[in-house]
Amino acid sequence: MKPSSTQSLVRSDIDFDRDGKQVSFLAVPISTNESAYGTLAIPIMVVKNGQGPTFSLTGGVHGDEYEGPIALMKLSRILEPHHVNGRVIIIPALNLPAVLAGQRCSPMDGLNLNRTFPGKADGSVTEMIAHYFSSEIVPRSDYHLDMHSGGKTLEYIPSIFVPQAHGDSSPAKMRRAAEVFGIDIVVLEDDDFPDSGRFLTAMFTRAGKPGFCTELAGGGRVTPAVVSMAEHGIQNLLVNAGIVESSILPPSPGTHRDSRIVRVEDRQCYIMSPDDGLYEPFAELGDPVETDQVIGQIHFPQHADKPAVQVPAGRSGLLLCRRIPGMVARGDNVAIIAQPA
């Protein structure tokens, strides 16, 4: 899929070619019961100093994932032109309606922004946001970091994902950049996940540019350790890209000194609930599991005497991600298992 050639309806007074620090908004046209000719104002910050590469950063693509927006808002307040060589574009809450609602998907049109790229110029609010980003930010960027976490329903071992189909980008350089982030897990991301072609990072993959994605814990929580990890990682990526002159920071407290490199091989690594009920997990994040090992079971509150249904692992590896809410419906993802790469 290619972005529509139709000009974006989203407007901004940002001059991407001007040196200095600019803080403004992306003005997305909306028409609601409360505002007939309204505007959704999504904050954006651009810091530019001379010639050099451009690193764009986004958070809040899913509105219940809080660690990325916090780290990026803190960076927006302190980053100044004399800190950079080149250009940094920061959009801390790209899916602003979802962030304000604390929901994964936008309350304005019900769409999941990270399943909407490249978007539509004349589409719904979420589609217009995706189209603007695909047509205006991706072409201007040399590198990108899209900051996610598990949201309210999932919890990850803090991880950074590296797309494997990345055009002209060097696999070694991509992996090196991911490792300097200073995080426990580097996931070599295959293209087998359903709808992965509509992810934000897929726009960079198609353009042959390095685009990374984090999964920073989650569970609807924010912890000092994970925010610190995110801040360390952002600085290290900017240093590694030659945009910020500094030394690579050591891993933040609580992380391993050497990142483990893993791969989520296929859809059998995504373990789905076989029934409705209460899910009892048997494994902790990072635990090794074997193929067909029982990693949890489903209980049925309306049937005290009904035997629990076991949930087996579809692959051997380590438990990368697990579900947070105890109540599950058939088809809910309860675990993701990753294999050593």
- pLDDT average, residue stretch 117-146: 96
Task: Judge contact between 202 and 167, C-beta under 8 A.
Answer: no
pTM recorded for the entire structure: 0.91
What pLDDT was estimated at residue 145?
96
What pLDDT was estimated at residue 113?
97
CATH number of 271-340: 2.40.50.100
The letter for the amino acid at 78 is I
Checking if the pLDDT of 192 tops 80, the result is no
What pLDDT was estimated at residue 254?
60
Residue 176 banded pLDDT, cuts 50, 70, 90? confident
What pLDDT was estimated at residue 167?
44
The per-residue pLDDT of the chain, averaged, comes to 90
Checking if the pLDDT of 121 tops 90, the result is yes
Of 263, 164, 155, residue with least CA distance to 212: 164
| pLDDT tens profile 84-111 | 999 999 999 999 999 999 999 999 999 9
Query: How far are the Cα atoms of 121, 151, 208, 219 from residue 126, in angstroms, in the given order?
Result: 10, 19, 25, 24
Checking if the pLDDT of 158 tops 50, the result is yes
% residues pLDDT > 90 (the chain): 77
What pLDDT was estimated at residue 4?
45
Is pLDDT larger for residue 256 or for residue 332?
332
Domain ranges of the chain: 20-263, 271-340
% residues pLDDT > 70 (the chain): 91
Whether domain 20-263 has CATH 3.40.630.10: the reply is: yes
DSSP string, 289-316: E-TT-EEEEEE-TT-TTSPPEEEE-SS-
- Alpha helices, H only, 170-276: 171-180, 200-206, 224-240
